[in-house]
Amino acid sequence: MKIGIPKENYPGERRVAGTPATVERLGKMGFAVLIETGAGEGAAFPNELYVEAGATLAATPEALWSEADIVLKVRPPMALPDGRHEADFLDEQMTLISFIWPAQSQELLDRLATRKANVFAMDMIPRISRAQKMDALSSMANIGGYRAVLEAASFFGRFFTGQMTAAGRVEPAKVLIIGAGVAGLSAIGTARNMGAIVRAFDTRPSVKEQVESMGAEYLTVELEEDGTGQGGYARTMSKEFIEAEIALFKEQAAEVDIIITTALIPGKPAPLLITREVVEALKPGSVIVDLAAETGGNCELTKPAEVVKHKGVTIVGYVDMPSRLAPTASQLYGSNLCHLLDDMGGAAEWRIDEEDAVVRGALVLRDGEMKWPPPKIEPSPQATPSPEQVKPMMPVVDPVQKAKKRGAVTAVSMLFIALLLLAVGARAPEDFLNHFTVFVLAVFVGWQVIWDVTPALHTPLMSVTNAISGIILVGGMLQLTGPLNSPVTLLAGIAVLVATINIAGGFLVTQRMLAMFRK
């Protein structure tokens, strides 16, 4: 089978649906790859690299579409400068895989349906665990969030991180992220790494832990309303909740320097969250980056594809954030496509399996027949355990009674040890009694230290026991002065060896644990 990768014709689009690395992967999957001349130049991939990766160059769009069985694109098919439409290049039995946006593209769907071809929308890949490696929306949103922070920094007139210099102190920038999906979390991580103080808001309470784990402050409104929609996306909120949101954003606008909005609702215009009043509450020099600009924008003053200045505030409405990191975006998108093609059997076992939840979710047209919207993915039914499988619950132990019982056991143990020492002391030599007392106390203290620590903390406890091992090491070294064949010297040598291993291992474990918390 032949895969065709045409040049993108959308104005300003620099991405390409395949990179030399992904072309090589497609070749290993059994596909022959055709790529239009100059398709990768916008992403810094010259024709020579594709040829080295095993691709064949096609001089014109017609030459590519006429030979390909599967066409991979980034943007939906569109009209070419000469008036022809890319959708008209499709023939029966051909397959097109691209971003389609079927909810907003009825005219395009009707045109594609007349071609009797198969069409898959990468924007319709279901957000389920198995499909994460094919989720192109998340890949592009991740890049968009990262790039949004860089664009904000380029328009912002100060450092992101706070600094203490000889000339005085520079306060860190304060950034508000609206929407904590993939793009929002990426923006949070980038802004935090650049040293900014980050606050975030989202209508879905489930993202609170993710926001806080990345070091940002999670903002809430007084109204309790869950904005979690189908597939993990946000849903449209009530009028009262939106009003409470806007009031919160106006309050925050007096404090923050940068606002990055990422709020999108699939198939609908972006919700209006930043009103003119909120914009005018920002300090002069502040920046708003609206990642929802392509679908209308979250800011009232956003103009798609433009940068607007309003009373000292810069409003960035770029609609091509992923394209501004074209090499990385192309590589990630190409990898998403490779995973989808591999899931569909590769060249050897190519199939359109409508029983596959991922394939069915992305399938828009099959042989010209409309397959969109896909059926809802129902959660797997949970099996009800039979009475024989139901295990009786463990009895609940009262912690107070448990503590009293442990205290009683400890008291009995102490009494027993005291009686044992008195019995031994009545007959044993004085030197033996001294050493025996130290031995018994060491065993008792060690047992108490380990016994009261939960098993999950036994590994970090190893670093604490280095002090005890150090005492053993010093004591063993003092006993190494005797004859080599003496039992005392032999035992001292073993004690030194074991204590050294324990100390070295404890420090190694501690070092690895500390490395986990370093950036």
**Catalytic annotation on 333?**
no
CA distance 497 to 491: 10
Does residue 127 carry a catalytic annotation?
A: yes
Active site residue 115: no
Amino acid at 278: V
* Rounded distance between C-alpha atoms, residue 249 and residue 317, angstroms: 19
Cβ contact 310:283 at 8 Å: no
CB atoms within 10 A of CB 255: 13
The active-site residue, picked from 88, 104, 111, 127, is 127
Outline where 19-135 has alpha helix (H). 20-28, 47-52, 61-67, 106-113
Cα distances (Å, whole numbers) of residue 436 to 397, 401, 423: 38, 34, 12
| Catalytic position from the list 50, 98, 135, 323 | 135
* Contact (CB, 8 A) for 364 and 373: no
Cα(489)–Cα(25) distance, integer angstroms: 64
> What residue spans of 194-325 are helical by DSSP H?
208-213, 239-253, 276-281
Identify whether 413 is a catalytic site residue: no
Catalytic, out of 66, 233, 342, 366 = 233
C-alpha 2/C-alpha 186 separation (Å) is 36
380 is catalytic: no
- Catalytic residue (choose from 132, 154, 230, 486): 132
End-to-end CA distance of the chain: 45
Give which of 220, 223, 190 is closest to 207, Cα–Cα.
220
- Decide: helix, strand or coil at residue 491: helix
| Measured CA angle at 427 (ends 424, 430), to 5 deg | 85
Active site members: 127, 132, 135, 138, 233
